[in-house]
Amino acid sequence: MSPVLSGMRLDGISAHAPAEVWSNARVAARLRLERIRMRSRSGGRLSPEQAKLFETSDRWVRRFIGFTQRHFCREGEGTVDLAARAARQLFERSGVSASDIDAIVVGSVTPSYLYSPPDAALLQHELGIPVWRGPAPREIVGADVSLACSSWVASLLFCYALIRAGLARRIVLIGADRMSAAINWCDRSFATVLGDAGTATLCTAVPEEEDWFSPSQFWSWLDGSQAQMICTPAGGSRRPTLTPEEIEAGEHRLAMDGAAVRRILVPFVGGPAIDAALAKAGWRMEDLDLVTLHEANLTLNESIVTAWRKRGLRGRVLNALGRFGNTTSASIPLALAMNPEDLSIGRKFGLFGFGGGLSACFAFGTIRHPLRAWSNLGPAEGAVSPGNERDG
Amino acid sequence: MSPVLSGMRLDGISAHAPAEVWSNARVAARLRLERIRMRSRSGGRLSPEQAKLFETSDRWVRRFIGFTQRHFCREGEGTVDLAARAARQLFERSGVSASDIDAIVVGSVTPSYLYSPPDAALLQHELGIPVWRGPAPREIVGADVSLACSSWVASLLFCYALIRAGLARRIVLIGADRMSAAINWCDRSFATVLGDAGTATLCTAVPEEEDWFSPSQFWSWLDGSQAQMICTPAGGSRRPTLTPEEIEAGEHRLAMDGAAVRRILVPFVGGPAIDAALAKAGWRMEDLDLVTLHEANLTLNESIVTAWRKRGLRGRVLNALGRFGNTTSASIPLALAMNPEDLSIGRKFGLFGFGGGLSACFAFGTIRHPLRAWSNLGPAEGAVSPGNERDG
């Protein structure tokens, strides 16, 4: 470990989504089935408000959320399986060996196991990262990092801190979530939104003068006063024990006040948050060639991008085209991996995580070395990302 | 933010345990009650192996685990409540203002809420850390960090990385767990061990020449090949849905193969792990004035300390005397806060997290500034910590 400061580059981004595709129509059908079950359990009575929670359609989801489909894991597959597939693809395609890795940082809100074991440890084994060097244990740094929808950019910030401080030199940064595990099938609000995906990004130390980032190019924000807006009522340590009725009602699954999210987050991210982050970095909206927002909801993101366009944004918006749903910790690297042709040297990018907590974590950087990206998902052929009017 | 490297000092350590004390006898009685319940549910039949899982006594726990009691939260209290009380005590006693804090790093394996909101965001609000500075949002860095029993030292490492890289200057580092939420009352293995506590430690940037640490003074290790040794079978993203029978059996609660933990972790931490960490730091066993091990189990820790004594350890072992159980992410700062008189300038310390994953995270440092510590727990009066023979 050198006592001098290092910079960080991204060497490669790999994304994986499980094979099973759920169309909006299939989600709507599942919600109808759950309504029938719930009605029979409640003796045939559902209030109009209750019944409404099960109602959706392909047309409604496309119009108000912007998603066309999402991928779901099979039973028995969790975050570690998504992450391991993405990381193996990263190693195979990049030629990097597992033995080159000295740290594993896992951004996720859906740990494969409660309490223990952590996914960072599971991935050491899944990926064959050596733990011994002759008779001595080989150091591997790592942990699981969680910050709701901002988990990936927060994890990127930790990777940057580790590398810059000389505590790691080659990190596999995971952003992976099996969000289908968090769906309450008695509530359309997240059932129409969430999807499963895993990503792996290689973060490598470079000399300081080649740094893609700088400390001033990260910006973070926490506001717990609005925590109930995106919240799982039970199952955490504040309310660990649920009755069978609460389980039936999905109290241990994620819930959202979608209207409040739109009312609070769109103007905040669209205005004061981006202004504060740009001011800290000394960047202007016009500097950004590429922006990728956490794919919370494409219509919500379009509202933010519209506000940014008015503030001078001319760059391209890279997203996953609504084909994977909101994959939480995977969304930003997934969108980058779907648009590899845009990741050319010299481009300045902005990565924007925001959501539950409330939280926000932004990063600005400049691509200074070749950045390759791979997915098992096929290219985003022929499609034009919403908000990219200048490419239209 | 300065472009030069910073060092880090610890300014104060605050520990809080909830009021309700559970003696070993009370734990044993609760297990007996659960056995009766289980027997009546299973039609009166329990195999001898099943019945044994409910058997314990004060004498057995004192002898084989070394704990005398632990503190448990009341219903409705979670990790965030333990953490907030510890942090408020830290602010009150140290005179530091919430408005001085620019980052919140939460080490915990028992998040207050599944998926969202993260405890880091909740604590912003609970502690009144300002989110606005006039019309502009004020930056607050943070996330929740999880690495089983190594969570606190892993979080300390992230704090060091943030400060050294110039990404934060004054961090409140939380180590808190409501481990009672993770207890399977059908299995004595963790029921006799776990306890609840919250801690808050102030990590402050100092000029590099006053650094208590260095990158070489941290050492980390992950080994997922033994992940099943300390594991929660269900409830995570790999197996999110449980039957009522699985819930009855506590499949969503933490389980441990205690014999394997002792067989694998004692020789590893007692030998190759400490050797690798010392070699990296360029320290010798003889250099350590103070050591604090994650209080997994005091008799297990004594075995490790015995191995270290043979390797030359002469320093004092600071622990919480078995009065709080295994509080996971709180255990190390809790032990420090119970022994404030030992934290004098010039002392060299070693902090040792190890456990589930498997994982280990060690830190060596030198106290170079006044370090105060507070708890709501009373001093460790008159008691002699096991392993401190030279003080006997």
Q: What's the whole-model pTM score? A: 0.95
Q: Which amino acid is at A299?
A: T
Helices (H), A42-102: 48-52, 58-64, 79-94
- Residue of chain A whose alpha carbon sits nearest to that of B134: A272
A337 within some domain = yes
A392 within some domain = no
Tokens, residue A29:
């059908």
Q: What is the ipTM of this complex?
A: 0.95
B330 within some domain = yes
**A&B contacts, CB < 8 Å:** 331
pLDDT in the model for residue A384 = 37
A31 within some domain = yes
Same domain, A158 and A291: no
Of the partner residues A129, A222, A273, the one whose CB lies closest to the CB of residue B104: A222
A386 within some domain = no
Same domain, A35 and A75: yes
Residues B212 and B368: beta-carbon distance below 8 Å: yes
Contact B167 A161 (CB under 8 A): yes
Same domain, A65 and A200: yes
Q: Residue A124 and residue B221: Cα distance in Å, rounded?
A: 10
Contact A224 B125 (CB under 8 A): yes
Report whether the peptide linkage leading into residue B31 is cis, meaning its omega lies within 30 degrees of zero. Answer: no
Please say whether the dihedral angle defined by the alpha carbons of residues A16, A256, B76 and B324, taken in this order, is positive or negative.
Answer: positive
Same domain, B240 and B152: no
Q: Which of residues B160, B176, B210 is at a domain's end?
A: B210
* Domain CATH for A358: 3.40.47.10
> What H or E segment, with its residue span, contains residue B142?
strand B141-146
Q: Residue A252 and residue A234: Cα distance in Å, rounded?
A: 5
Contacts 24+ apart (CB under 8 A), A377-385: A377/A15, A377/A16, A377/A17, A377/A323, A377/A324, A377/A337, A377/A338, A379/A338, A380/A320, A380/A321, A380/A323, A380/A338, A380/A339, A383/A321, A385/A316, A385/A317, A385/A318, A385/A319, A385/A321
Contact A240 B181 (CB under 8 A): yes
Contact B218 A116 (CB under 8 A): no
pLDDT in the model for residue B379 = 54
Contact A131 B221 (CB under 8 A): yes
A14 within some domain = yes
The pLDDT of A82-103, averaged and rounded, is 97
Residue in A3, A13, A9 with CA at minimum distance from that of residue A373: A13
Q: Look at residue A316 and tell me whether its pLDDT is greater than 50.
A: yes
Label the pairing between strands A255-256 and A218-222: unpaired
The pLDDT of A342-363, averaged and rounded, is 97
Contact B121 A252 (CB under 8 A): no
- Residue of chain A whose alpha carbon sits nearest to that of B245: A244
Same domain, B178 and B242: no
Of the partner residues A3, A141, A357, the one whose CB lies closest to the CB of residue B118: A357
Same domain, B37 and B21: yes
Of the partner residues A116, A136, A220, the one whose CB lies closest to the CB of residue B148: A116
* Chain A interface mutation, best of B1, B72, B80, B113, highest count of A Cβ atoms under 10 Å: B113
Q: In 10 A of CB A92, how many CB atoms?
A: 11
Q: List, for chain B, all residue ranges whose pLDDT scores fall below the cut of 50.
A: 1-2, 380-392
Contact A148 B357 (CB under 8 A): no
Label the pairing between strands A170-178 and A103-107: parallel
Same domain, B206 and B245: no
Contact A230 B182 (CB under 8 A): no
Contact B236 A113 (CB under 8 A): yes
A359: which chain B residues are within 8 Å (Cβ-Cβ)?
A: 118, 120-121
pLDDT in the model for residue B243 = 87
A247: which chain B residues are within 8 Å (Cβ-Cβ)?
A: 247
B126: which chain A residues are within 8 Å (Cβ-Cβ)?
A: 224
Contact B146 A118 (CB under 8 A): yes
Domains in chain A, number: 2
B357 within some domain = yes
Of the partner residues A117, A145, A268, the one whose CB lies closest to the CB of residue B357: A117
B268: which chain A residues are within 8 Å (Cβ-Cβ)?
A: 137
Min Cα separation B381/chain A (Å): 32
Residues B219 and B359: beta-carbon distance below 8 Å: no
Q: Residue B305 and residue B254: Cα distance in Å, rounded?
A: 26
* Chain B interface mutation, best of A237, A246, A256, highest count of B Cβ atoms under 10 Å: A237
Of the partner residues A136, A215, A223, the one whose CB lies closest to the CB of residue B165: A215
Q: Which of residues B158, B177, B210 is at a domain's end?
A: B210
Min Cα separation A128/chain B (Å): 10
Q: How far is CA B205 from the centre of its chain?
A: 23
* Chain A interface mutation, best of B153, B172, B238, B326, highest count of A Cβ atoms under 10 Å: B238
Same domain, B198 and B223: no
Same domain, B159 and B281: no
Q: What is the pLDDT of residues B127-160, one digit of tens each?
A: 999 999 999 999 999 999 999 999 999 999 999 9
Min Cα separation B296/chain A (Å): 14
Judged by average pLDDT, the poorest of A190-204, A244-258, B188-202 is A244-258
Instruction: Quickly tell me which residue has 């990404």 as its tokens.
Output: B167
Paired residues of B374 in beta bridges = B14
Instruction: Quickly tell me which residue has 């996953």 as its tokens.
Output: A320
B392 within some domain = no
Domain ranges, residue B345: 215-378
Contact B111 A237 (CB under 8 A): yes
Q: Which of residues A157, A182, A209 is at a domain's end?
A: A209
Residue in A274, A259, A331 with CA at minimum distance from that of residue A306: A274
pLDDT in the model for residue B4 = 67
B221: which chain A residues are within 8 Å (Cβ-Cβ)?
A: 131, 137-140
Tokens, residue A290:
């590429």
Q: Band the pLDDT of A241: cuts 50, 70, 90.
A: very high
pLDDT in the model for residue A382 = 34
Q: How far is CA A1 from the centre of its chain?
A: 31
Judged by average pLDDT, the poorest of A51-65, A377-391, B115-129 is A377-391
Same domain, A114 and A199: yes
Helices (H), chain A: 24-41, 48-52, 58-64, 79-94, 119-126, 151-164, 188-191, 244-248, 258-268, 274-281, 298-310, 331-337
- Residue of chain B whose alpha carbon sits nearest to that of A222: B121
Q: Band the pLDDT of A51: cuts 50, 70, 90.
A: confident
* Chain B interface mutation, best of A4, A114, A352, A361, highest count of B Cβ atoms under 10 Å: A114
Same domain, A90 and A13: yes
Paired residues of B221 in beta bridges = B360
Q: Band the pLDDT of A40: cuts 50, 70, 90.
A: confident
Query: What end-to-end distance do the CA atoms of chain A give, in Å?
Result: 48
pLDDT in the model for residue A74 = 95
The more confident residue out of A316 and B42 is: A316
A120: which chain B residues are within 8 Å (Cβ-Cβ)?
A: 147, 222, 357, 359
Same domain, A47 and A101: yes
Q: Band the pLDDT of A50: cuts 50, 70, 90.
A: confident
* Chain B interface mutation, best of A77, A85, A113, A157, highest count of B Cβ atoms under 10 Å: A113
